[in-house]
């Protein structure tokens, strides 16, 4: 389980090695993504709070990167933070997420990105629930839910 100390260490000293890399030109990303997905995932934008389609969904499944479809978060670690963005306590695995210090807007935060394609996801904060104490605050437009198939 990742801790805030480990997140800061990644942001300052380098990130875990991804399983693979996906790199495309802006033109290729624009062809694949909607204008809003491109603005958020490729240009480090953000959606308005409480506007994202995935904010109130709690279906079982995996939340994958909108750009490269890499698994990022599992529905079992999603929680209602009241912030207006989907929130998670841990990534699906340690090397799924890339961390960078973000000093935009006069504050210091830790930006989180897909470690495979560098898509901007959102930010992580040390004010989440136990046991990790982490809150990954993620834009809905940066992810797609791959619902768990239930065999009946």
Residue 4 has pLDDT above 70, yes or no: yes
The whole-number pLDDT of residue 100 equals 95
| Whether 67 is catalytic | no
Residue 104 has pLDDT above 80, yes or no: no
CA distance readout (Å), 121 to 47, 80, 109, 149: 11, 17, 13, 25
The whole-number pLDDT of residue 150 equals 72
Q: Which of 13, 115, 43, 38 is nearest to 73 (CA)?
A: 115
Which residues fall within 8 angstroms of residue 14, CB to CB, at 6 or more apart? none
Residue 152 has pLDDT above 70, yes or no: no
Q: Which of 67, 68, 114, 137 is catalytic?
A: 137
Q: Which residue has the higher pLDDT, 17 or 103?
A: 17
pLDDT (tens digit per residue) in 31-83: 999 999 999 999 999 999 999 999 989 899 999 999 999 999 999 999 999 99
Rounded mean pLDDT, 122-127: 96
Determine the 3-state secondary structure of 88 from DSSP.
strand
Residue 19 has pLDDT above 80, yes or no: yes
Q: Does domain 4-13+22-147 have CATH number 3.90.245.10?
A: no
pLDDT (tens digit per residue) in 78-98: 999 999 999 999 999 999 999
- Stated pTM of the model: 0.93
């Amino acid at each position: 389980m990742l801790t805030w100390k480990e997140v800061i260490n990644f942001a300052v000293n380098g990130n875990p090695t991804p399983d693979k890399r996906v790199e495309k030109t802006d033109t290729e990303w624009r062809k694949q993504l909607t204008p809003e997905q491109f603005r958020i995932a490729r240009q480090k934008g953000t959606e308005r709070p409480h506007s994202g389609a995935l904010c109130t969904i709690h279906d079982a499944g995996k939340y994958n990167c909108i750009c490269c479809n890499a698994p990022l978060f599992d529905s079992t670690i999603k929680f209602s933070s009241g912030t207006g963005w989907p929130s998670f306590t841990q990534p699906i695995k340690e090397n799924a997420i890339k961390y960078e210090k973000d000093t935009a807007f006069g504050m210091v935060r830790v930006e989180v990105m897909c470690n495979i394609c560098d898509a901007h996801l959102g930010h992580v904060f040390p004010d989440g629930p136990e046991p990790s104490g982490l809150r990954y605050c993620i834009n809905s437009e940066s992810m797609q839910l791959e619902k768990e198939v239930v065999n009946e």
